Chains A and B, each alone.
Chain A
Amino acid sequence: MARDRKQPKKKLTTEEAQIPGAFEGETVSRRRFMTGTVHAAGGIAAAAFTLPAVGFAVAPVFEKQEPTWESVGAIGDFPDDTYIPRTLTLVRGIGDVGKSTVYIRKYNPQLDDEERDEYNEFIAISTRCMHLGCPVRFVAASERFICPCHGGVYDFQGKVSGGPPVRPLDRFYTRVRKGELEVGPRFSVNSELKRFSPRDPGMPLDGIGQYVYPARPTVRKIPGT
């Protein structure tokens, strides 16, 4: 009996359902057809303004960011045993709040063990704390970066030596052009100072962190570095 009930019902044509004025072989009544048409028209009308609005709101995520290089002074200005602060415009068009401090020093072979290439003759450390993004300050006396918000502490190389930060301080690519030091795009590093595409603060890069917190598809590190 149960099997009988499961049998799909044959769809009645409007004629069989004895709807007056039905055409022969008609399976959709005119009322149903009109209802469907009106709903579809409403849906199209709503989509016509919703889809562009959503696209407009989401588009900046996929906007391509061109890397910019900013000159910060002659290469002789930067020693290898302490950091020199320089101001960099990270965000254009918003005045002073778009500027940020960057700490720069020369690569120190006795201290730094990462592989040397054209982008790390000078080391430029971002002041964005990797806990939640407060600005850190380099304290020369203790040779440490200290964050005022929640007590994050980083050593001379920017590696975490205490507090809540989840990865070392971000860095910037640097290059030398005509005796001038230029600072370029930002990149993130894991605890071994391996380069990664830039991430936001609070996103660890060790272990599965780099997969759990994907980088922006449009902002990548320089290929091959």
Chain B
Amino acid sequence: MASLKPPLPRALRPKPKGPSEDNGHVERGRKDKLADKGISTIDWIDERTSLSGGARWVMFRKIPKGTNWFYTLGSATMFAFLSQAVTGVILAMYYDPSATRAYESVRYITNEVFLGEFVRGMHKWGSTVMVVLVFLHMARTFFFGAYKYPRELNWVIGVVLLILTLFLSFTGYLLPFDQRSYWATTVGVAINGTGPLIGPYLNDFLRAGPEIGVTTLARFYALHMLVLPLALAAMIGAHLYLVARLGTTAPPWMKADTPDDIRKDET
């Protein structure tokens, strides 16, 4: 008799049919199964982190009428930063921050490494592009009045990002350690030193001594590839959080909809 059969262990029992395969006739393709796997993985993560709510909050925001291409300057700046980060990591694989080897390693990157000149060029020109984009983004914010209440703090964070970007440019300029970068840094440090009273001490801190030397290069390298990018990334996070939290502004030439306009739109 069938009822006398020992019960199957749970793992061997036939699986109950899922809702999408209940009629048993539709042969499910490999693609569908893969999609199911993907969805269930995401569900697994989301059940434990509730990330999807945050993702929806960031991605599906309401944006005002009149939003235009000028509003992409912020993202453009961020992508410039990401490009700097990626090319910078790759350059760091070959670069040697010692005073006697730095120039030689940069020459090696430029002349010997496959695509080295291209990646170094991306990093070098990308830094200029990033500074230009930061200023354009800043100008957009200024002329559109997007710095006004309640977005003042985001303006302040933006200024910090600008300063960090300029610090990155300044510290990065020394790294090839050729005559140009040496003297440009000499001039930059001298400008810094003209601040009364603390200027001379700040100079000594920047150079790690009375002249630009071995320790200056190591110090600039550590600032350029660790301290400043991490600080910049963290501040970008804060900047974006506030953008998502406060929303963007309409361009100044847009007028608020009157109730009549809204009624017209609805009909």
Contact = CB atoms under 8 A, between A and B. Distances in A.
Interface in A153-194: none
Nearest to B210: A219
Q: Could you tell me the dominant secondary structure of chain A's interface residues?
A: loop
A149 interface: yes
Interface stretch (B39-47, B80-88, B200-208): B200-208
Interface residues of A, number: 33
A61 B219 CA distance: 13
Contacts of A215: 200
Contacts of B215: 60
A8 to B, nearest CB: 38
A216 B204 contact: yes
Interface string A115-155: 00000000000001001111100000000000001000000
Given A58-B205, A61-B201, A213-B199, A91 B187 contact: no
A42 B207 CA distance: 32
A122 to B, nearest CB: 23
Contact of A97 (B179, B194, B200, B208): B179
A206 interface: no
B209 interface: yes
A216 B214 contact: no
Nearest to A200: B193
A198 B211 CA distance: 11
A212 B193 contact: no
Interface string A60-94: 11010100000000000000000000000011111
B193 A201 contact: yes
A22 interface: no
A57 interface: yes
Contacts of A93: 99-100, 213-214
Interface in A88-110: 90-95, 97-98
Given A94-B213, A212-B196, A216-B210, A60 B191 contact: no
Contacts of A92: 213
Interface residues of B, number: 32
B167 to A, nearest CB: 16
Interface in A6-57: 57
Given A93-B99, A133-B183, A149-B187, A202 B193 contact: yes
A134 B199 contact: no
B210 to A, nearest CB: 5
Contacts, number: 88
Q: Could you tell me the dominant secondary structure of chain B's interface residues?
A: helix
B211 A90 contact: yes
B100 A57 contact: no
Interface string B125-152: 0000000000000000000000000000
B99 A94 contact: yes
A135 B183 contact: yes
A212 B186 contact: no
Contact of A95 (B100, B189, B200, B212): B100
Contacts of B155: none
Residue from B177, B197, B210, B219 whose CB has the most chain A CB atoms within 10 Å: B210
A60 B200 CA distance: 13
Nearest to B203: A200
Contacts of A63: 209
A200 B205 contact: no
B61 to A, nearest CB: 38
Contacts of A202: 190-191, 193-194
A32 B154 CA distance: 37
A212 B197 contact: yes
A57 B218 CA distance: 11
21 contacts: A57-B219, A60-B204, A60-B209, A61-B204, A65-B210, A93-B99, A93-B100, A94-B217, A95-B99, A132-B190, A132-B191, A133-B186, A135-B183, A200-B189, A201-B186, A201-B190, A201-B193, A203-B193, A203-B194, A216-B200, A219-B210
Given A92-B213, A134-B183, A213-B199, 7 more contacts: A60-B208, A97-B99, A132-B187, A133-B190, A134-B186, A201-B190, A202-B193
